[in-house]
């Protein structure tokens, strides 16, 4: 791949790390929209805001594909439907370029460089993608054909939502039964109930420092984003006829949270939501 690299989208982490680490060759600049790219680039990484329709962003009159030239590598780090990734890959292929989906995971991990990228696309191009994405994350994993990166991401986030709700329910029940929340968290984390939501990102205020629950659920991974990703999981489950009973319930819960004022709070605010929804 040639020298030029452009990063489209100012979403969390990618802009920050573009100022910290750079590929061995080529310029590395962050811009906020396709219109900001003044020249066609050889390598492009995109992360689209959730408010933007991916097809329109790529194929519209001023879309990203207008910035792609033959032989270039386009890496999409948005979280979108795997079927949409496959459709975009076909459009990029018509231009003689290569498309790879590489959604990112790692709540709060951008500044520490511990992001995980799940990459789907032509295996022969993975090394080139790994060189770029390795500047922003410690884990760059090849998942298979186009769309498999997105598949891995939505499966991960569905499990994350389910485990966060379960942790919040268990902590809430224990507190109402008279247990000290810090003690309960300690017991869970040395027992079989331990999970990332309990030992690294506990949703109960006062249990852990440096997490959104310690800051009125500000920062982190928004409830709106979680609801969106669960919607993608629901769509994929429908298209593949896969039962996701808990995933569907999690989707309903996060949609309810968005409707009741939690949309801008971190997704761990489900604990606060459950505490206030005594009618359950």
H-run or E-run covering 88: helix 82-94
Helix, strand or coil, per DSSP, at residue 68: strand
Residue 153 annotated among the catalytic residues of the structure: yes
Say which of 40, 90, 153, 265 is annotated catalytic.
153
Can you tell me the distance from the alpha carbon of 241 to that of 182, in angstroms, rounded to the nearest whole number? 41
Q: What is the dihedral of CA 134, 136, 137, 140, to 10 degrees?
A: -40
Which residues touch 261 (CB under 8 Å, ≥6 apart)?
none
Can you tell me the distance from the alpha carbon of 274 to that of 260, in angstroms, rounded to the nearest whole number? 12
Which residues touch 26 (CB under 8 Å, ≥6 apart)?
2, 3, 4, 5, 42, 43
Taken in order 67, 69, 72, 75, is the CA torsion positive or negative?
A: positive
Give the pair of three-digit tokens for residue 74.
């386009």
Question: What amino acid positions are annotated as catalytic residues?
Answer: 153
């Amino acid at each position: 791949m040639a020298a030029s690299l452009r990063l489209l989208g100012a979403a969390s982490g990618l802009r920050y790390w573009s100022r910290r680490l750079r590929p061995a060759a080529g310029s590395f600049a962050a811009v906020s929209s396709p219109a900001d790219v003044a020249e066609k680039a050889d390598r492009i990484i995109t992360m689209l805001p959730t408010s933007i329709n991916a097809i329109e962003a790529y194929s519209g009159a001023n879309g990203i594909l207008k910035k792609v030239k033959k032989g270039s590598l386009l890496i999409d780090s948005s979280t979108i439907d795997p079927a949409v990734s496959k459709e975009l890959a076909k459009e990029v292929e018509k231009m003689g370029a290569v498309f790879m989906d590489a959604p990112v995971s790692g709540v709060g991990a951008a500044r520490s460089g511990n992001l995980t990228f799940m990459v789907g696309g032509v295996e022969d191009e993975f090394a080139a993608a790994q060189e770029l994405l390795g500047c922003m994350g410690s884990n760059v994993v090849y998942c298979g054909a186009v769309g498999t990166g997105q598949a891995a991401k939505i499966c991960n986030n569905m499990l994350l939502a389910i485990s966060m709700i379960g942790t919040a329910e268990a902590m809430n029940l224990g507190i109402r039964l008279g247990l000290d929340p810090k003690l309960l968290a300690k017991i869970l984390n040395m027992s079989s109930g331990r999970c990332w939501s309990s030992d690294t990102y506990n949703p109960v205020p006062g249990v852990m420092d440096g997490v959104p629950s310690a800051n009125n659920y500000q920062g982190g991974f928004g409830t709106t984003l979680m609801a969106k990703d669960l919607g993608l999981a629901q769509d994929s489950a429908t298209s593949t006829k896969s039962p996701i009973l808990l995933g569907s319930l999690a989707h309903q819960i996060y949609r309810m949270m968005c409707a009741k004022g939690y949309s801008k709070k971190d997704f761990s605010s489900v604990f606060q939501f459950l505490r206030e929804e005594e009618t359950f």
